[in-house]
Structure 1
Amino acid sequence: MQRIQIKACAKINLSLDVLRRLENRYHEVEMVMQQILLHDDVAVRWFAGEHGQNAQKEKVEIELSTNRPYLPRDERNLAYKAAMVMTDRYGGGRSGKIRIDIKKRIPVAAGLAGGSSNGAAVIHALNYLWQLGLGVKELCEVGSELGSDVPFSIMGQAKENTELGLAGDPLATHCAVARGTGTDLEPVIGLKSHLVLTKPPMGVSTAEVYQGLEIGKIERHPNTRELVTALAKKNYKIIQKNMINVLENFTLTRYPNVMYTKNKVERLFDEEAVLMSGSGPTIFALCRNRSEAQRACEELKTYNKETFWTRTTY
């Protein structure tokens, strides 16, 4: 039996812009994605079976467990699906069992890429355990089959989990600009900040938000180039100016609980940026220091149970 445990970090969007609706019903986006320290632990074990001719008669079995009993444990779970995709691509001639154990901390259906990070972790784990020698670019190509947030999760995990041996890869990064449908990724210098994030007790459908967004009525768009330059120069005034998520135009109107939560967070902070991550419903705020994040976390927990203080990874 071989085993590896991977820190599967969440992400926030420092900006999210939707440029146009494509003919295939997807959308062209431009956004800055930042990895944060809040993470799930994904342990993957490989129990090798027989080799040679006998292996052809066998197959690779997949088992998944999690500390959240309401989560699916079959191909509806991105971690399980990631194991299926890796087996289809690289499992030829192998027999045995993949055992995946996920300790969840990242809220589910929250706009934080929790499921995507779990899928990315399984891709990394099997690359490591099967000694495939794939680089981050190749792993991202596999991840793009699972979802638009998976490639960025792969890049972030490569940087954060140094035991994988990929931290020096040119695409390993804590922060990136995502273009196209979200899988065209460019590593950039990230943000160093403590933060608090809080999720209302509800889920939001990403598909519903994108389909319901009226792009022509969006009044404010982030300037991505200006934001990337400000991140490199640590110019927090310009960073905050461009921390805009255009999906708020739909989510805050459609879901009053998200609007209520954002207003609650904004009342706690004067100058710090407050933004929705992804399609929601999680709201986060940048904090001046750890103490401020902890204090805000304690207060916001009285409204939303799933509230955390953390920081960006760097």
Structure 2
Amino acid sequence: MASSLNNCPAPAKLNLFLHVTGRRADGYHLLQTVFQLIDRGDLLHFDVREDGIIRRVTEVEGVPEDSDLIVRAAKLLKTAAANRSMERLGVDIRIEKQLPMGGGLGGGSSDAATTLIALNHLWQTGLARQELMKLGLQLGADVPFFIFGQNAFAEGVGEALVPVATPDCWYVVIEPGVSVPTAAIFSDPDLTRDTKPVRISDFPEASTGFGKNDLQVVATKLFPPIAEAIKWLRQYGDARMTGSGACVFCAFSQEQQADEVLEEVHKTGSAQWKVWKAKSIERHPLSYLLES
């Protein structure tokens, strides 16, 4: 059994579109979206313990250890595999955070997915991808996607996933300097909840030219810096918000185009913004750990 696994990527996602098509009786919203993986994210490091203790050894501002999704994911996996001689196994988890909280990039969900994938390997629990996806859904609606491990058309609350081809491109992403609580967006009375459902066959290749983000109207109303970032970035293309916000992105076919926009940000963009570029990727970097 390996004793450690370091430099484990937890990549971000973008929602190329996000439609709210209804609401279930339990209050959860029904969604349709295309999830796009990008080559920017957090890094996690795992060191196996043999005293049964699960610890996050890195301080994360504003996130108590016990409520952190990475700790919850590790404990959930240990409980799920309790009949597999797991009592003595624990882990120290270090995390290098790069993705903002409340940014709509899926940072916490991706961290949790990477934790489940890595510990499933390190602890030799032997759970299949589908089993890990079911566990992940207990932690959050986006977690199964990252375990699924490839760009996908998603329905339901985000857990019904079908692989989809997406453009090979570069993205410029603006962090507008605000953190958006997802609950505030979904509970807003102005949120559109009846967008007509689409079929994956309606478009041969998912792109930002298809659909819209139904959450954007509410988010820009509640958080004006998001609207400012979208307006600025739309000078260069079809800019839009990802997830429930706050991050805003625009796609470019060539890296040079993205670099030129980054240069312009420093000249005319807001000093409050953090701006970066990322490349689209087809598969989760840790997918190989689930393909034995």
TM norm. shorter chain > 0.5: yes
5 Å-filtered alignment, 1:28-107, equals 28-49=30-51, 60-66=52-58, 69-92=60-83, 93=85, 94-107=87-100
5 Å-filtered alignment, 1:203-214, equals 203-212=179-188, 214=190
Residues 74 and 80, structure 1, Cα contact 8 Å, conserved in 2: yes
Determine the structure 1 residue equivalent to 2:4.
Answer: 3
Q: Give the alignment's TM-score, normalised by structure 2.
A: 0.87
Kindly indicate whether residue 218 of structure 2 is the aligned counterpart of residue 225 of structure 1: no
Task: Identify which of 130, 138, 142 aligns with 1:149.
Answer: 142
Task: Identify which of 127, 150, 156 aligns with 1:180.
Answer: 156
Quote the offset at 1:273 in angstroms.
2.2
Determine the structure 1 residue equivalent to 2:287.
Answer: none
Determine the structure 2 residue equivalent to 1:52.
Answer: none
Determine the structure 2 residue equivalent to 1:114.
Answer: 107
Gaps of 5+ in 1: 50-59, 157-172, 232-238
Distance across 1 between alignment mates of 2:50 and 2:174: 42
Quote the offset at 1:241 in angstroms.
3.1
Residues 21 and 27, structure 1, Cα contact 8 Å, conserved in 2: yes
Determine the structure 1 residue equivalent to 2:286.
Answer: none
Distance across 1 between alignment mates of 2:263 and 2:61: 27
Distance across 2 between alignment mates of 1:214 and 1:290: 37
Q: Pairwise CA RMSD of aligned residues?
A: 2.1
Determine the structure 1 residue equivalent to 2:285.
Answer: none
Quote the offset at 1:109 in angstroms.
1.2
Residue-by-residue CA offset, 1:186-205 (whole Å, 9 max, x unaligned)? 12223311010011111111
After superposition, the Cα gap between the structure-2 partners of 1:228 and 1:151, relative to the gap in structure 1 and judged at 3 Å, is farther
Instruction: Write the letter of the residue equivalent to 1:279.
Output: S
Residues 189 and 228, structure 1, Cα contact 8 Å, conserved in 2: no
| Runs of 4+ displaced beyond 6 Å | none
Distance across 1 between alignment mates of 2:4 and 2:192: 50
Residues 42 and 103, structure 1, Cα contact 8 Å, conserved in 2: yes
Determine the structure 1 residue equivalent to 2:256.
Answer: 291
Instruction: Write the letter of the residue equivalent to 1:251.
Output: A
Secondary structure at the residue paired with 1:229? coil
Secondary structure at the residue paired with 1:148? coil
Residue-by-residue CA offset, 1:62-115 (whole Å, 9 max, x unaligned)? 11133x641424222111110111121114532143111111111221000001
Residue-by-residue CA offset, 1:268-309 (whole Å, 9 max, x unaligned)? x0xx32110000010000013112212222433552442111
5 Å-filtered alignment, 1:179-258, equals 179-212=155-188, 214=190, 223-225=198-200, 228-231=203-206, 239-258=207-226
Distance across 2 between alignment mates of 1:216 and 1:198: 24
Gaps of 5+ in 2: 283-292
Distance across 2 between alignment mates of 1:193 and 1:61: 42
Residues 222 and 242, structure 1, Cα contact 8 Å, conserved in 2: no
Distance across 2 between alignment mates of 1:145 and 1:17: 22
